[in-house]
Amino acid sequence: MTTVAARPQNRDPTATRAVTARIEDLDRVDASARFAFGTTAALVSISGPIEARLGVEAPSKATLEIHVRPLGGVPGVTERSIASILRNIFSPSIILNAHPRTLIQVVFQVLGSPPNRAYGVSSRSSFVTDYSMLAALINAGSLAFLRATSLPLTGVIVAVSVGVVQDGLSRDLVVDPEDSELEALSAGGTFAFLTSQSQGDDSQMDTDISTLSEARIVWYSWEGEYIPKEFSKAEKLARHAASGILQTFRETLFGKDVDPNASMITS
């Protein structure tokens, strides 16, 4: 692959923007967290397990209810579609049968989307969704679930977006494309990985790059031209970047001096 054109702030093609993660203390919820790639930010709150409403109660497991709220206005078709995606992503990471007949309510709030854009996507972009915003929503949800100690987890979800910038015949991969790069993308998507506890060791979670390379993909999306070799490289870049985000989760929960093998999940 040829050298990609200069990115904003001369960012390396394999690097995300500055990642920020913070545990929040919102009122009347059990856990909340904020996550951002640069200015692409999301806030998530979790309530539960709580008493399930009539009609949503499941006899053998908890019901996972997810809502997505835009920066302004009322939720519409886009938000309901993203909520369905998020439900499918997070369900494998939560041990729902630990709290049968209860409700886990999760609210995902989009933050910082510029005016006249839907989740950061320019009207001149061919993409329906800003995949970096989707990755931020997923990562904010993961951090909130890690904070919700009453909810046992099978592992941690980490998400990263990758885009393809085309300049003539040259096609270059870039990690975490930002708003100003979206119009130049010819393809791209988001990868969500589930890192699980090491087999035979309940106190340790797979976190290093070599082990994360074997983490299960629980969801991915891809828009634009699909080239198998290019897609495979995009997945590898996303896995590599995900390892840094996982370490950010750990430092956010326990501080920068934490043992890199300390377990983050409740099982």
Q: Can you tell me the distance from the alpha carbon of 264 to that of 247, in angstroms, rounded to the nearest whole number?
A: 10
The string of pLDDT tens digits covering residues 58-112 is: 999 999 999 999 888 889 898 999 999 999 999 999 999 999 999 999 999 999 6
- Average pLDDT taken over every residue of the chain: 86
Q: pLDDT tens-digit profile of 146-158?
A: 999 999 999 999 9
- Alpha helices for the chain (secondary structure H): 77-90, 131-147, 209-212, 228-254
Looking at residue 6, its pLDDT comes to 81
Percent of the chain with pLDDT over 70: 82
- Quick one: DSSP state of residue 138? H
Q: Which residues on adjacent β-strands are paired with residue 172?
A: 165
Please state, as a whole number, how many other Cβ atoms lie within 10 Å of the Cβ of residue 71.
Answer: 16
In the chain, what percentage of residues exceed pLDDT 90?
A: 67
Residue reference for tokens 């999760």: 106
Instruction: Give the Å distances, CA to CA, from 213 to 41, 113, 195.
Output: 26, 32, 10
pLDDT at position 155: 92
Please determine, for residue 127, whether its predicted confidence score (pLDDT) is greater than 80. Answer: no
When pLDDT is cut at 50, 70 and 90, the band that residue 120 belongs to is: very low
**pLDDT reading at 206 higher than 70:** no
What per-residue confidence (pLDDT) applies to 124?
Answer: 42
Residue 203: its pLDDT value, please? 39
Specify the pLDDT at position 119: 46
> What pTM did the predictor assign?
0.90
Determine the Cα–Cα distance for residues 86 and 108; give it in Å rounded to an integer: 9
